[in-house]
Structure 1
């Protein structure tokens, strides 16, 4: 049978290491049916990166995939995560995404290990699904 897989495929573009460079960091991504990445800016504003949706992997390799790009401000955090972080049985997934944004807003200025640990603690529940999360902080 055919295996279908969801994924976010992302590429980080970093500026040159030249001390005079003012080029921004950029994230390029496509989303194949996965929960959207979250961008938490240092001022607490959060954005779900919902552009660039594409078919799940395994459907048809000939299908076109769109990509999106956004600038990553200094001090911002990019969070990639599995659906177990936001899904609750019997609850609309939109509520889980709202909860994620609220907690990320509150934690946006914390050091990265605190941001991630506290986010996982605040988002967890008793009947927890497997959760994987990866966070990146722009210098």
Structure 2
């Protein structure tokens, strides 16, 4: 009786080809594993740096971070808020150049420096940014970054609060008034950090009333390749002014319903309204501060 063997014997050239293919496959799998590990580490780093926002009395804070669709899916964009020893609420948003794990690491160092100065010293935003810029270079961090730093004071007898801000080359903030009107906070944009420590920096002020919402964001929300920045700012203003279904490119509402007073602007819905799908090539961060209605 004939006996069949299940063993397959390959000719010498074919055996060498299979060995080569197996080697390439093993290398590709190892690279994929390392890339996934790098992505996981980067994601953990970004999540750790974007800590939970505080819940100060009379103010509602909300934030969103959306990474770029390419690269490590982390970057140099961040938002932060602190209730200071004086009782003021400090909010900041910034964008370190780059959108990879190196930018995220620089962002973490810059953010930590800023937090320390805010907590220790009762200075104006312009003074704090000047101090941060000097330390940025003096300590060897040397990050180039745009930052907008603002402080919201305690309420006055009429419920109003003073907003004081300074911009280190950052796009202007907006205020969505309780009436629905949208105001762009115009003011001089000073030099970004990391370029010329010691350059003059300026403070600006505006009054906030119950129901008003301050909207801070990074340039990934409004900038488009080959398009003037003002068009992006106008588009954001239109979305904030709409505040309801159909206001954005996706038709999603950008505000959440409220039982009393004006609706609350929701950062993640602002992002979806302006940047539908996976079209963004840059990181995006949005932070809102709402003075609670009385």
TM-score between the two structures when normalised by the length of structure 1 = 0.85
2-structure distance, mates of 1:29, 1:36: 10
Residues 1:127 and 2:127 are matched in the alignment: no
Residues 1:8 and 2:154 are matched in the alignment: no
Residue 221 (structure 2) aligns with: 85
1:1-139 alignment, distance < 5 Å: 2-15=142-155, 21-107=157-243, 109-112=262-265, 115-125=266-276, 126-128=278-280, 129-139=282-292
> 1:111-133 deviations in whole A, cap 9, x for unaligned?
34xx3233111111442121100
2-structure distance, mates of 1:63, 1:52: 13
> 1:42-92 deviations in whole A, cap 9, x for unaligned?
222111112142111122222111110000121011011010000111211
| Structure 2: tracts of 5 or more residues without a match | 1-139, 244-254, 256-261
2-structure distance, mates of 1:79, 1:39: 6
Q: Aligned-pair RMSD on alpha carbons?
A: 1.9
> 1:3-50 deviations in whole A, cap 9, x for unaligned?
32110011111227xxxx325111101111111111111222111112
SS in 1 for 2:284: coil
| Structure 1: tracts of 5 or more residues without a match | none
Contact 1:29 1:52 in 2 (8 A): no
How many equivalent pairs are there? 133
SS in 1 for 2:189: coil
Structure showing greater relative contact order (alpha-carbon pairs closer than 8 Å, 6 or more residues apart): 1
Runs of 4+ residues over 6 Å off in structure 1: none
